[in-house]
Amino acid sequence: MKVDLIRDIENSLLIHGRPNVPGIQTYPILFDNTSKHWKIIEKSFIESCDKKPDFVRAWAYIQRPGVRDTPYPGWHTHGEERSYGRCSQCGVMYLDKFLHGTVFMRDGIEIVGDSTPFVWHMFSPNDVHSPPMWDPNSTITRYVIAAEALNVKN
């Protein structure tokens, strides 16, 4: 499944290009893919949520050998109000085991998240977080599927 997911992520970049956001990211349309492996990933994300969302979306964040995170995404949240809905929960899934997972900031302290692959690491949209600083001398590509559970505004 990992090979299929990576292929689809790379194809998404080739076909749709990249949004005007920091780092290398796909558009948040990965769950639009109807392949069986994406439906499994989407279903597992929904099942990891505290409450069934109205809709979900997913994108990939990619860090490559020889490529600096420019501009570096830095600290951010997903809790802002949006015209189409509000994020109720976030998750990241790594396609490989890395030394560092997503980094969270709590009370001025950096907390490095778990990087176990192929499980959803869930967090609140109000949690301040950032990808770990990337070593461009790395010999591997870091693929992270990021997802949001959204609820339609009432």
Domain boundaries, position 41? 2-151
3-class secondary structure per residue, 85-110:
EEEEEEEEEECCCCCCCCEEEECCEE
Q: Which token pair is 146?
A: 């990021």
Lowest mean pLDDT among 15-19, 33-37, 127-131, 136-140: 136-140
Q: What is the dihedral of CA 121, 96, 77, 122, to 10 degrees?
A: -10
Q: Identify the pLDDT of residue 141.
A: 92
Categorize the per-residue pLDDT at 154 as very low, low, confident or very high, splitting at 50, 70 and 90. Answer: low
Q: What is the pLDDT of residues 3-61, one digit of tens each?
A: 999 999 999 999 999 999 888 999 999 999 999 999 999 999 999 999 999 999 999 99
SS3 category, 38: helix
Q: What is the pTM of this model?
A: 0.92
Q: Identify the pLDDT of residue 12.
A: 97
Q: Are the CB atoms for 13 and 26 separated by under 8 Å? A: yes
**Mean confidence (pLDDT) of the chain:** 92
CATH number of the domain where residue 19 is located: 2.60.120.620
Looking at the structure of the chain, the number of domains it has is 1
